[in-house]
Amino acid sequence: MTAPMARRKRKNELNVEVRAMLELGADMLGFFAGLNEDQVNEELEALWQLHRDEVLADFVSRRPGERPEMWWRVDSPEPRPPLRPADGSSEAWAEARKQRRIEEIALLIRHNLLSHEEQAGLRTQEAQATALEED
């Protein structure tokens, strides 16, 4: 297993682990073991500043209409819409995630933050969902 110090030295590289931390907004692999929550957030923000463009472009190409967690924390012009499940059931959580996605896309549209490629990707997703509903 890689020691925390060795991992910390590699943190400036945009590897799979760093990309995951930036997409999820958390140090789930212990890169910053020994740091408090505020210090970890500072490290994540510094990594986001360093790798923002590449991480964002890759993320949006895979998930049009969505943004990585660090984008919501650092770059979003408005707070991320909250999840509001009606109760604790899996159906309520699924519906809450669907509603938040709609609100997130509305925010991106309102601030003119969707590229033409992303808009095309969203139209493709919508067409696929409609086709599945018709089957």
Amino acid symbol at 67: R
Position 65 in a domain: yes
Name the residue range of residue 42's domain.
4-77
CB 89 within 8 A of CB 43: no
Confidence label for 11 from pLDDT (cuts 50, 70 and 90): low
Position 85 in a domain: no
Kindly tell me if the per-residue pLDDT of 2 is higher than 80.
no
Q: What is the pLDDT of residues 18-34, one digit of tens each?
A: 999 999 999 988 989 99
Counting the structural domains of the chain, the total is 1
Position 57 in a domain: yes
Position 108 in a domain: no
Position 23 in a domain: yes
Position 10 in a domain: yes
DSSP string, 14-82: --HHHHHHHHHTS-TT-TTTT--HHHHHHHHHHHHHHHHHHHHHHHHHHSTT---HHHHHHT-SSPPPP
Position 128 in a domain: no
